[in-house]
Amino acid sequence: LSSRARVAAFLRNGIVWGVAFLLVIFVLYPALWVTPATVLATVRGSANRHLGEALRETFFLGQVAFNHGPLFYPVVLLWRLSPVVWLAMIPVAGLARAWRKRGRGLPAGAYPALLLLLWVVLFLGAITPAAKKFDRYILPVVPALLILAAVAWGAWASRRGRAAWRILALVVAFQAIYWAAFAAYPLAAYNPLVGGPRTAAAVLPVGWGEPVSAAGRWLADNDPEAAGRRAMAGIVPALAPFFPGQTLVAGRDDPATAHYQVVTLGGRQLDPAGWRAQIEGLTLAHTVHYGGLDQAWIYQRMSPRAPVLPAPLAEPTVFGERMALVAYEQSMVDDAVDIAVKWRRLQPLAADERFTLRLVVRDNSGNLWAVEENDLLNEAAFFPPDWPTDETGTVRYLLELPPGIPPATYHVAMSLIDPRTAGQLPVRVGDVFHGVLYMVGAIDVPPPENIVSASRLQIPHFTEQTWLDGRLRLLGHGDIPAEALAGSELPVDLFWHVPVENLPTGLNLAWRWQPAGGGEPVAAQTTPLSRYDTELWRTGETIQEKYRVPLPPKLSPGDYELLVEPLTADGEPLGEVYNLGDVQVNNIDRLYQVDVPVPFLVSFESLDLLGLDNTELVARPGEAPELTLFWRKYAPYGQVYTVFIHLLDESGAIVQSADHWPGGLPTDILDSSQIVIDRFAIPLPADLPAGTYQVRAGLYSSESGVRLPAHSFVEEGTGTVGADFAILPLQVQVVSP
């Protein structure tokens, strides 16, 4: 064929192949039948995410990193391809030399092979830039390279006579032996030409869960009491189907409760130093060996700690009428809070319905010390729609506390989030509404048995400031926000250390705002240096403490230095004042006096409702009449509260609702006695019947969802005040369009 004819045939065949490819994908991928654009966007988004971000570190050439660069896949091919494929380079070289001697172009049969080779190169070029790299990602090119090797060996043998066919038979036999050697565990196969499994363990990630499964099978076959045992491994889905006992989740369950700990060669690669801590005090029970390597080690704990079992709750804690917490228990385990729960599904759920469980450990000031978010799963890691029964077994969570947390009483809170709306589900116990954040229990954090070393703390910014002749040292601090709003509180983390000898009791800390341009500093507050009395700190101990530094509401806008000064219990300075950083302070216009057209005084403890601007609104369905309320802050700082507005019909049913911050401002920045003019619209439904409607208002915590109690100071006949709401002295007249 002429060159033009070959190109035309190539294009024609390419089009036919492309159409057939798209047709097969469409037929075998039913999701494309319904929403092809959404499916393609999801695939594209997933590919882009993997291109730019690796979710976990992997091992390569002795290093553990997120991205191993362009060398990764060529090295993987060197170890992962069969020797027959690499030895095919010999006949390829011979064929190329023979074709060159003829002085002719490539034979027609070579073009399909070159196209297949081009596809291999393009595929590897496409996946190489991705940050996420695993050796299994080259699997699509392996059959293509095997075919190319077979073509090369066959073409070479057809030109070399009977002896070549004998060599080809040996090649085929060698490939069969190589396959048979690793048939049980094909992922353990590595090219013997470069050292096989022995060298692969120093170069590539070894094992993808199959050693864990082999360990589970060995335990099932060799421990008669395996059904009553507990085992922990790094990959839960690889162990659970083979181990008849309870599979514990690393990072969630307490490892001290496991009878068996499975350590894999891949785990050793990822954590060459830390894996030894997992087996400290344990006894080696069995070594899993296959593929020429010790793949996993099963260690036995002779006296495992009894797991914490959740106690049934007197009343279930109901989340959004869909899920309920029916049992709960918590305990301190080393530097973590071990939580055991049981869940109950209250109604049938859609197949794709999911919930996110958020657990937090907080102190009395609202500072968060530990936060963990997980999919809500049962003990077998199934989503709620797939639970075999409505009630789960024991599900465990482990909240790791920072190593320098000061001994004190802390509180554990939980909430369930609907990922579709990003909203928290309302919580009730019996008939009592608890908002959206449920306080499940308090935890007493004792002083650590061993002194916490400074090396264990993650300190963002280090300092070298000392007081008391070096007895008190400020190791560093957390990030200081570059901007802040007057009236708010600035969160600050400080890391303290006692290097030489014990400290006196009751040390305090004075906070001040120093104008950058000079002038008198503005006192913010004086607080204890720590909730854990400094007299109790041991030599060598490191303590992390969280503070909320007030920015006085009347602080003038501008740049300030945040100064901190340790004091004795009597208020005497211990030495130099230290500048933690510069902060740009902004402020808002504040109002302290106003005439209220319709007085209506209701106290919601943190804020007072002073009144409103009108007693009647007239509007048509679909319109949004505007109402103005007047609020007064009782004291500065505090929490953020949200106003709720309910439009009620004559029967008291809610026909419209709206929520907002008073005047669009977070209430924690408001000054004592500051008044907020709160203008907002009430959008009326387009199908709202004509008639007279009332407006119910109140406040709730933006964080927890719990309403504030209402206390009436109004005259009789001018509205109604309930336990946590007020019905305003206002009528909304809806007239026909």
Rounded Cα gap, residues 166 and 168, in angstroms: 5
Query: Beta-carbon neighbour count of residue 168 at 10 Å?
Result: 18
Instruction: Detail the DSSP E strand segments found in 446-586.
Output: 461-467, 472-477, 483-485, 489-497, 508-515, 522-528, 542-550, 558-567, 578-586
Q: Give the pLDDT means over successive 10-residue stretches in the chain (737 positions).
A: 74 88 89 85 75 74 85 90 86 77 66 83 88 84 88 80 81 87 85 89 87 95 93 89 89 85 90 82 93 92 87 95 96 87 95 95 94 92 93 90 94 95 93 91 90 85 92 95 94 94 94 92 95 94 95 94 96 94 95 94 93 94 96 91 96 94 94 95 94 96 91 78 93 91
Residues contacting 674, CB < 8 A, separation 6+: 553, 590, 591, 592, 632, 633
Tokens coding 569: 């219990």
Chain CA centroid to CA 135, Å: 26
Instruction: Detail the DSSP E strand segments found in 161-265.
Output: 230-233, 246-249, 260-264
Task: Specify burial of residue 692 (Cβ count, 10 A radius: 0-12, 13-18, 19+).
Answer: exposed
Three-class secondary structure of residue 635 per DSSP: coil
Give the closest residue to 411 by CA, choosing from 359, 363, 469.
363
Give the closest residue to 59 by CA, choosing from 238, 275, 249.
275
Sign of CA dihedral 55, 59, 63, 64: positive
Q: Residue 537 in contact with residue 503, Cβ under 8 Å?
A: yes
Q: Which residue bears the tokens 């190791």?
A: 475
Tokens coding 60: 């390569």
Rounded Cα gap, residues 57 and 71, in angstroms: 16
Task: Specify burial of residue 311 (Cβ count, 10 A radius: 0-12, 13-18, 19+).
Answer: exposed
For the CA atoms of 101, 105, 107, 108, the dihedral, rounded to the nearest 10 degrees, stands at 180
pLDDT of residue 5: 80
User: How far is CA 136 from each of CA 133, 189, 201, rounded to the nearest angstrom?
Assistant: 9, 12, 16
Task: Specify burial of residue 271 (Cβ count, 10 A radius: 0-12, 13-18, 19+).
Answer: middle
Tokens coding 426: 């309302």
Residues contacting 320, CB < 8 A, separation 6+: 416, 418, 425, 426
In the chain, the amino acid numbered 709 is P
Tokens coding 227: 């059904």
- What is the reported pTM? 0.69
For the chain, what percentages of helix, strand and coil (3-state, to nearest 5) are there? Answer: 25, 35, 40
How many CA atoms does the CB half-sphere of 479 hold within 13 Å?
Answer: 4
What's the farthest any 2 CA atoms get from each other in the chain? 114
Find the distance separating the first CA and the last CA of the chain, reported in whole Å: 81
Task: Specify burial of residue 572 (Cβ count, 10 A radius: 0-12, 13-18, 19+).
Answer: exposed
What are the φ/ψ torsions at residue 20 (nearest 5 degrees)? -65, -40
Rounded Cα gap, residues 305 and 298, in angstroms: 18
- DSSP, residue by residue, 667-682: GGGPPTT-EEEEEEE-
